[in-house]
């Protein structure tokens, strides 16, 4: 395969604060899912930011997540905002409810869309190595979890 | 402090909402509706000492273009809710005695080309500023405009409450009927059937094309003044009885603990309490309807029906201007068009004023003493 055909044309993650979220992306490259966990509140939060959105204190740490999740809701994209996704339609743009009680946006992969999708279905994390530098966190159907 | 009944809308004007107005400029449209509203209120231009504009057009810039010198200048920042909240802001300033006659003016002549990116190269070369969105959402391929968020919200509402596609479609049918009788509506004389809605393509499942607004050109304006001054003016005043509420944090809808509940759960009780009325005393409603699901969830949260009951309500209720509980009697944004410059939400204010003043013409609902408006 030539370099041109393997080049990833979709948008890469562009962090506004790269140093803040670097541990998350480095963990994803190792195929590990980690989340910000507030020591004060003893709760996870998402997205990562300097201060915990519950108590506004900054003493939080990265903690490994289970990778277990449920499909909170989804929409099937027929007409993407960015034409780089045109060859993927129909695909699922979804809100993922993680077992750690936080929600993130992602895609549901490795299933028929829309036939296999159902709100509240169990999911598990998968890691999509989109190029040498970036790995996206995605989800696929799982047996009951 | 309550501002109950201290301010009133005393004049309004709008130009027809159309898909494109290539021969009109934005400031030309704003000037036309400003002049129309001032004349309708029985005022002169020099009477206007307050100006409220959409976030896209700084109030100082608009004042300069219209030859106004307001001592009270505001550009709203609450996105779609700007139209409705402009009335709260005007009423609050009038009640505080800092301004006498406030012109609220919203609208836009939209550029002919859409803002949609057409090629991979263009997408790559026109990167938005880095944000939490470019890190956590954009890599997963969001949908155009707000279609994605409201598709997600609708899917979840259908799951939690069993709301059906037919029930969503009924709302569109009722509003398109209203719009078909509104010469200012983009869908004038173009009603639709249930099948038309259900057979329209999914922009993104489970959202049908006909459940979404059409971005349009147009403009709307009203004049707000004190209840005392209103008495001397020609139109029957539309008194502002109560206001309230936070706006949707729609940038991060997936964060909200309950994605099918809107900030109207806070704003409606606040407004009703200030107005000293019960929700059962509301005669009709003009509710922000960029998509069916948003208006339907907001109607639930306002207490028009119990949470989760809006589907059966639409199924069993005639909500046209002839109906038992009229909603969006001008067609709403789904029927009349979403005017640019956050004018979409402002049309609900104009139609509420029209109905309360008894100037609805063939669309006049039978009882319009109290109208609830949601932005």
Instruction: State the total domains in chain A.
Output: 1
B contact test, residue of A73, A83, A106, A121 with most B CBs within 10 A: A73
A82 and B131 in contact by Cβ < 8 A? no
Calculate the dihedral angle through the C-alpha atoms of A94, B215, B13, B58, rounding to the nearest 10 degrees: 80
- Asked if the model's pLDDT at residue B114 lies above 80, the reply is no
* Higher local confidence (pLDDT), A144 or A106: A106
Residue range B45-61: mean pLDDT, rounded: 96
Report chain B residues whose CB lies below 8 A from the CB of A80: 141-144
User: What is the count of residue pairs from A and B with beta carbons less than 8 Å apart?
Assistant: 129
> pLDDT band at residue B232, thresholds of 50, 70 and 90?
very high
B162 to chain A, closest Cα gap in Å: 12
Residue of B nearest to A106 (CA): B140
Report chain A residues whose CB lies below 8 A from the CB of B136: 13, 47, 104-105
Backbone angles phi, psi at B85, to 5 degrees: -70, -20
Report chain B residues whose CB lies below 8 A from the CB of A10: 139, 141
Residue A3 lies in a domain: no
Residue of B nearest to A91 (CA): B141
Q: What is residue B361's predicted lDDT score, i.e. its pLDDT?
A: 98
- Asked if the model's pLDDT at residue B165 lies above 70, the reply is yes
The per-residue pLDDT for range B175-226, each reduced to its tens digit, is 999 999 999 999 999 999 999 999 999 999 999 999 999 999 999 999 999 9
Residue A65 lies in a domain: yes
- Asked if the model's pLDDT at residue B235 lies above 60, the reply is yes
Does B201 reach chain A within 8 Å, measured CB to CB? yes
Q: Provide the percentage of residues in chain B whose pLDDT is more than 70.
A: 94
The DSSP symbol for B357 reads: H
* Higher local confidence (pLDDT), B360 or B258: B360
B136 and A13 in contact by Cβ < 8 A? yes
- Asked if the model's pLDDT at residue B51 lies above 70, the reply is yes
> Nearest CB to A107: which of B140, B205, B259?
B140
End-to-end alpha-carbon separation of chain A, Å? 39
Angle between helices B343-357 and B82-95 (to 10 degrees): 60
Residue A7 lies in a domain: no
Listed residue (B337, B338, B329) closest to B357, CA to CA: B329
Q: What is residue A144's predicted lDDT score, i.e. its pLDDT?
A: 74
Residue of B nearest to A81 (CA): B144
Does B156 reach chain A within 8 Å, measured CB to CB? yes
B211 to chain A, closest Cα gap in Å: 15
Report chain B residues whose CB lies below 8 A from the CB of A94: 152
Mean pLDDT lowest among A113-117, B257-261, B282-286, B343-347: B257-261
CA angle, B152 then A145 then B256, to 5°: 30
B155 and A136 in contact by Cβ < 8 A? no
> Nearest CB to A78: which of B137, B145, B203?
B203
Mean pLDDT lowest among A2-6, A13-17, B220-224, B255-259: A2-6
Tokens in use for B155? 């899917």
Q: What is residue B248's predicted lDDT score, i.e. its pLDDT?
A: 66
Residue with tokens 């999740």: A69
> Which residues are CB-neighbours of A136 under 8 A, at least 6 positions away?
A13, A28, A106, A127, A128, A130, B139, B140
Listed residue (B67, B68, B59) closest to B105, CA to CA: B59
A16 to chain B, closest Cα gap in Å: 5
Q: What is residue B252's predicted lDDT score, i.e. its pLDDT?
A: 62
Q: What is residue A2's predicted lDDT score, i.e. its pLDDT?
A: 44
- Asked if the model's pLDDT at residue B112 lies above 70, the reply is no
Does B165 reach chain A within 8 Å, measured CB to CB? no
The number of beta carbons lying within 10 Å of the beta carbon of residue B331 is 32
Q: What is residue B124's predicted lDDT score, i.e. its pLDDT?
A: 66
> Nearest CB to B135: which of A16, A82, A107?
A16
Does B255 reach chain A within 8 Å, measured CB to CB? yes
- Asked if the model's pLDDT at residue B129 lies above 90, the reply is no
Q: What is residue B339's predicted lDDT score, i.e. its pLDDT?
A: 95
- Asked if the model's pLDDT at residue A1 lies above 50, the reply is no
Does B115 reach chain A within 8 Å, measured CB to CB? no
The per-residue pLDDT for range B63-74, each reduced to its tens digit, is 999 999 999 999
Backbone angles phi, psi at B247, to 5 degrees: -100, 160
Q: How far apart are CA B235 and CA B237, in angstroms?
A: 6
Q: What is residue A7's predicted lDDT score, i.e. its pLDDT?
A: 85
Q: What is residue B186's predicted lDDT score, i.e. its pLDDT?
A: 98
3-state secondary structure of B323: coil
A16 and B138 in contact by Cβ < 8 A? no
Residue of B nearest to A137 (CA): B140
CA B132 to chain centre: 28
CA angle, A78 then A80 then A86, to 5°: 80
Could you say which residues from 60 to 89 on chain B have a Cβ atom under 8 Å away from some Cβ of chain A? none
Does A83 reach chain B within 8 Å, measured CB to CB? yes
Q: What is residue B312's predicted lDDT score, i.e. its pLDDT?
A: 98
Calculate the dihedral angle through the C-alpha atoms of B201, B204, B205, B209, rounding to the nearest 10 degrees: -40
> Which residues are CB-neighbours of A97 under 8 A, at least 6 positions away?
A69, A70, A71, A72, A103
Q: What is residue B250's predicted lDDT score, i.e. its pLDDT?
A: 56
- Asked if the model's pLDDT at residue B276 lies above 90, the reply is yes
Helix or strand run (H / E) with residue A3 = helix A3-6
A81 and B134 in contact by Cβ < 8 A? no
> Which residues are CB-neighbours of B155 under 8 A, at least 6 positions away?
A73, A74, A75, A119, B205, B206
The per-residue pLDDT for range B306-334, each reduced to its tens digit, is 999 999 999 999 999 999 999 999 999 99
B contact test, residue of A75, A125, A139 with most B CBs within 10 A: A75
Does A55 reach chain B within 8 Å, measured CB to CB? no
Does A121 reach chain B within 8 Å, measured CB to CB? no
The per-residue pLDDT for range A31-84, each reduced to its tens digit, is 999 999 999 999 999 999 999 999 999 999 999 999 999 999 999 999 888 899
- Asked if the model's pLDDT at residue B269 lies above 90, the reply is yes
Confirm if B149 and B156 have CB atoms less than 8 A apart.
Answer: no
pTM above 0.90, yes or no: yes
3-state secondary structure of A144: coil
Report chain B residues whose CB lies below 8 A from the CB of A15: 130, 134-135
Write out the residue range of the structural domain in which residue A43 sits.
15-141
Confirm if B76 and B82 have CB atoms less than 8 A apart.
Answer: yes
> Nearest CB to A93: which of B124, B143, B203?
B143
Residue range B102-109: mean pLDDT, rounded: 97
Q: What is residue B111's predicted lDDT score, i.e. its pLDDT?
A: 81
Q: What is residue A3's predicted lDDT score, i.e. its pLDDT?
A: 46
CATH of the structural domain B7-112+212-374, one choice from 3.20.20.70, 3.60.150.10, 3.30.2320.80, 3.40.47.10: 3.40.47.10
> Nearest CB to B134: which of A14, A78, A85?
A14
Confirm if B86 and B345 have CB atoms less than 8 A apart.
Answer: no
Please give the C-alpha separations between residue A1 and each of A86, A134, B35, B187, B209, in angstroms, as whole numbers. 21, 20, 65, 52, 40
Q: What is residue B333's predicted lDDT score, i.e. its pLDDT?
A: 98
B141 and A93 in contact by Cβ < 8 A? yes
Residue A107 lies in a domain: yes
Residue range B337-341: mean pLDDT, rounded: 95
| Helices within chain B (DSSP H only) | 26-40, 59-66, 82-95, 120-125, 132-136, 147-161, 165-180, 194-199, 227-230, 264-275, 292-302, 310-316, 332-336, 343-357
């Amino acid at each position: 395969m030539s370099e041109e055909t393997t080049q990833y044309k979709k948008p890469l993650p562009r962090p506004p604060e790269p140093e803040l979220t670097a541990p998350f992306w480095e963990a994803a490259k190792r195929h590990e899912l980690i989340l910000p966990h507030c020591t004060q509140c003893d709760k996870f939060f998402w997205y990562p930011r300097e201060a915990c959105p519950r108590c506004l204190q900054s003493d939080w740490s990265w903690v490994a997540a289970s990778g277990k999740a449920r499909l909170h809701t989804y929409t099937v994209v027929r007409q993407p905002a960015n034409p780089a996704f045109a060859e993927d339609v129909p695909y699922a743009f979804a809100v993922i409810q993680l077992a750690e009680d936080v929600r993130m946006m992602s895609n549901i992969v490795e299933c028929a869309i829309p036939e296999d999708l159902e709100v509240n279905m169990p999911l598990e994390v998968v890691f999509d190595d989109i190029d040498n530098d970036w790995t996206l966190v995605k989800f696929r159907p799982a047996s009951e979890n | 402090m309550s501002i109950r009944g201290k301010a009133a809308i005393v004049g309004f004007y709008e130009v027809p909402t159309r898909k494109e107005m290539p021969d009109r400029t934005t400031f030309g449209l704003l000037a036309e509706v400003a002049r129309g509203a001032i004349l309708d209120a029985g005022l002169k231009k020099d009477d206007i000492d307050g100006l409220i504009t959409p976030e896209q057009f700084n109030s100082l810039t608009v004042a300069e273009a219209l030859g106004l010198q307001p001592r009270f200048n505001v550009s709203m920042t609450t996105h779609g809710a700007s139209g409705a909240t402009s009335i709260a802001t005007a009423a609050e300033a009038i009640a505080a005695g800092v301004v006498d006659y406030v012109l609220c003016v919203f609208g836009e002549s939209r550029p002919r080309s859409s803002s949609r990116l057409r090629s991979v190269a263009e997408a790559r070369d026109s990167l938005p500023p880095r944000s939490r969105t470019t890190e956590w959402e954009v890599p997963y391929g969001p949908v155009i405009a707000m279609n994605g968020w409201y598709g997600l919200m609708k899917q979840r509402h259908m799951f939690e409450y069993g709301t059906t596609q037919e029930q969503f479609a009924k709302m569109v049918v009722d509003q398109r009927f209203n719009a078909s009788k509104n010469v200012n509506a983009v869908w004038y004389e173009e009603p639709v059937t249930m099948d038309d809605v259900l057979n329209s393509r999914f922009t993104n499942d489970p959202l049908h094309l006909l459940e979404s607004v059409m971005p349009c050109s147009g403009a709307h304006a009203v004049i707000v003044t004190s209840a005392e001054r209103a008495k001397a003016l020609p139109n029957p005043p539309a008194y502002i009885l109560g206001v309230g509420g936070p706006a949707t944090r729609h940038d991060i809808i997936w964060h909200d603990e309950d994605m099918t509940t809107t900030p109207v759960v806070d704003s409606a009780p606040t407004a009703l309490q200030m107005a000293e009325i019960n929700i059962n005393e509301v005669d009709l409603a003009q509710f922000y309807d960029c998509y069916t699901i948003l208006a339907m969830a907001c109607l639930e949260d306002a207490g028009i029906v119990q949470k989760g009951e809006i589907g059966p309500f639409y199924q069993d209720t005639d909500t046209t201007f002839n109906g038992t509980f009229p909603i969006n009697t001008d067609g709403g944004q789904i029927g009349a068009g979403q005017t640019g410059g956050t004018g979409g939400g402002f049309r609900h204010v104009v139609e509420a004023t029209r109905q309360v003043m008894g100037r609805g013409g063939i669309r006049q609902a039978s009882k319009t003493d109290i109208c609830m408006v949601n932005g």
